[in-house]
């Protein structure tokens, strides 16, 4: 059972002055969590459901919001829309077809008809995933339909093995969700996965490749794997089964990721992809590797730099707004677009730290903010 800190909804509506709100976001949800009936403010808890549930959450972002941060109420306090990320309401869809129609209606309102699927990591409550995708979409200025795939993490630091099995159990459900999106009016499906969520994502993409549909009928867009909690040897096998991507996946790693250091210990001292020191080895499988070690983090564990470092968020946003994005290629040079974006950001922020980009073709060092 989730703790009170994972309550997403307020007890009652909280008055909000429109001038205090900077943005509103409709977050669509596909989840393998069981709905929390006894604690409805949690919405979905950590127990596994045999069936995928579908919902949408109306979120607001306060005008005082700072890029890279998630301002939220503490403990059981009500969220104040003038100060905090706030969930105004949740809508539930009884049938997948209803959810699919709602997705299509939202996609049609966006010029480029893109969707972004976010797959959260270990030790996340349902609320954590909702807050994080809202922050990502808001701060990257993503112009598309945001979809949270929320698998049944029980949101406990002691629940690593439970979470790993929940991730395993969610593979077919993520595949079904991606196939649903491929049948939608969306023209491009971007994926950002974090931590243990990268395991669910890679296993699902591997399944799609085995089924002969690794690029979702040509709709698969950017794939960003942030702080992957995957055994390096397993990841190599996954990539071999998937095959070298037409548009390389992007792996964001950091040698000072304390959360993955713990995961490495739990896993018998086998290195995880997210803190692997041999970027060139990973790049040989067709991925772009960005080493974020020198970049600062708002998280003491250095586990979410991709989202909580303001400059990295800007870099990610600029890349996602480019149709080919981080995995774009110019005359066979997969690093060119990222290099250009990085230099622009470096010039803008002044104080810089190097991010080392390793591609299948070369190693680049770009200024991307301290």
Residues 79-111 pLDDT 10s: 999 999 999 999 999 999 999 999 999 999 999
Beta strands 363-367; 354-358: pairing state: antiparallel
Between residues 324 and 182, which one has the greater pLDDT? 182
Cβ density class 115-154: b for 16+ within 10 Å, e for less: bbbbbbbbbbbbbbbbbbbbbbbbbbebebbbbbbbbbbb
Band of pLDDT at residue 47, cut at 50, 70 and 90: very high
Band of pLDDT at residue 121, cut at 50, 70 and 90: very high
Mean pLDDT, rounded, for 311-337: 56
How far is the C-alpha of 195 from the C-alpha of 225, rounded, in Å? 8
Q: Is the pLDDT of residue 126 over 80?
A: yes
- DSSP symbols for 276-336: -S-HHHHHTTT-EEEE-TTS--SSTT---HHHHSHHHHHHHHHHHHSSSGGG--BTTBTTH
CB 210 within 8 A of CB 192: no
Which pTM does this prediction carry?
0.89
Mean pLDDT, rounded, for 262-268: 65
Band of pLDDT at residue 247, cut at 50, 70 and 90: confident
Tell me what pLDDT residue 259 has.
65
Mean pLDDT, rounded, for 2-11: 76
Which CA distances in Å does 333 have to 2, 237, 320, 359, 366?
A: 47, 25, 18, 8, 15
How far is the C-alpha of 200 from the C-alpha of 228, rounded, in Å? 10
Cβ density class 12-31: b for 16+ within 10 Å, e for less: eeeebeeeebeeebbbbbbb
CB 45 within 8 A of CB 33: yes
Mean pLDDT, rounded, for 50-66: 97
How far is the C-alpha of 75 from the C-alpha of 360, rounded, in Å? 46
Q: Where are the alpha helices (DSSP H) in 30-151?
A: 96-107, 126-140
Mean pLDDT, rounded, for 29-48: 96
Q: Where are the alpha helices (DSSP H) in the chain?
A: 96-107, 126-140, 160-169, 171-182, 197-210, 232-242, 258-266, 279-283, 305-308, 310-321, 336-349
Q: Is the pLDDT of residue 10 over 90?
A: yes
Band of pLDDT at residue 363, cut at 50, 70 and 90: low
Q: Crossing angle of helices 160-169/197-210, nearest 10°?
A: 30
- For residue range 188-245, list pLDDT tens digits in order: 999 999 999 999 999 999 999 999 999 999 999 999 999 999 999 999 999 999 998 8
Tell me what pLDDT residue 1 has.
34
Tell me what pLDDT residue 191 has.
95
What DSSP state is assigned to residue 270? Answer: P
Q: Is the pLDDT of residue 57 over 70?
A: yes
Q: Is the pLDDT of residue 75 over 80?
A: no
Tell me what pLDDT residue 337 has.
44
Mean pLDDT, rounded, for 151-163: 92
Q: Is the pLDDT of residue 21 over 50?
A: yes
How far is the C-alpha of 323 from the C-alpha of 143, rounded, in Å? 11
CB 41 within 8 A of CB 9: yes
How far is the C-alpha of 197 from the C-alpha of 273, rounded, in Å? 13
The mean of the pLDDT values for the chain is 85
Between residues 253 and 207, which one has the greater pLDDT? 207
Mean pLDDT, rounded, for 337-352: 40
Mean pLDDT, rounded, for 291-301: 73
């Amino acid at each position: 059972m989730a703790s009170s800190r994972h309550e997403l909804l307020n007890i009652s509506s909280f008055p909000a002055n429109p001038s205090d709100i900077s943005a509103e976001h409709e977050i669509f949800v596909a989840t393998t969590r069981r709905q929390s009936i006894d604690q409805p403010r949690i919405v979905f808890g950590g127990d596994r459901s045999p069936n995928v549930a579908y919902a949408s959450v109306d979120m607001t972002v306060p005008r005082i919001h700072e890029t890279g941060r998630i301002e939220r109420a503490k403990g059981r306090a009500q969220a104040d829309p003038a100060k905090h990320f706030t969930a105004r309401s949740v809508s539930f869809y009884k049938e997948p077809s209803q959810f699919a129609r709602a997705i299509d209606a939202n996609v049609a309102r966006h010029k480029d008809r893109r969707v972004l699927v976010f797959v959260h990591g270990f030790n996340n409550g349902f609320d954590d995933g909702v807050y994080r995708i809202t922050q990502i979409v808001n701060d990257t200025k993503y112009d598309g339909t945001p979809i949270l795939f929320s698998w049944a993490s029980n949101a406990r630091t002691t629940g690593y093995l439970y979470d790993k099995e929940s991730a395993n159990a969610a593979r077919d459900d993520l595949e079904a969700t991606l196939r649903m999106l491929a049948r939608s009016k969306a023209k491009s499906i971007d994926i950002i996965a974090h931590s243990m969520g990268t395991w669910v994502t890679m296993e699902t993409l591997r399944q799609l490749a085995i089924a002969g549909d690794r690029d979702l009928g040509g709709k698969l867009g950017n794939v960003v794997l942030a702080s992957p909690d995957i055994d390096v040897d397993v990841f190599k096998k996954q990539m071999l089964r998937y095959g070298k991507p037409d548009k390389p996946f992007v792996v964001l790693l950091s040698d000072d990721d304390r959360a993955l250091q713990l995961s490495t210990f739990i896993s018998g001292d086998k290195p995880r992809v997210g803190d692997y020191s041999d970027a060139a080895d990973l790049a040989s499988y067709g991925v772009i590797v960005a080493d974020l070690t020198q970049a600062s983090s708002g998280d003491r564990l250095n586990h979410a730099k991709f989202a909580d470092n303001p400059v990295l968020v800007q870099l990610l946003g600029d890349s996602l707004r480019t149709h080919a994005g981080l995995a774009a290629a110019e005359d066979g040079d997969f690093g060119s677009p990222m290099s250009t974006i990085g230099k622009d950001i470096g010039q803008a922020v002044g104080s810089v730290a190097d991010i080392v980009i390793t591609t299948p073709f070369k190693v680049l060092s770009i200024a991307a903010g301290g």
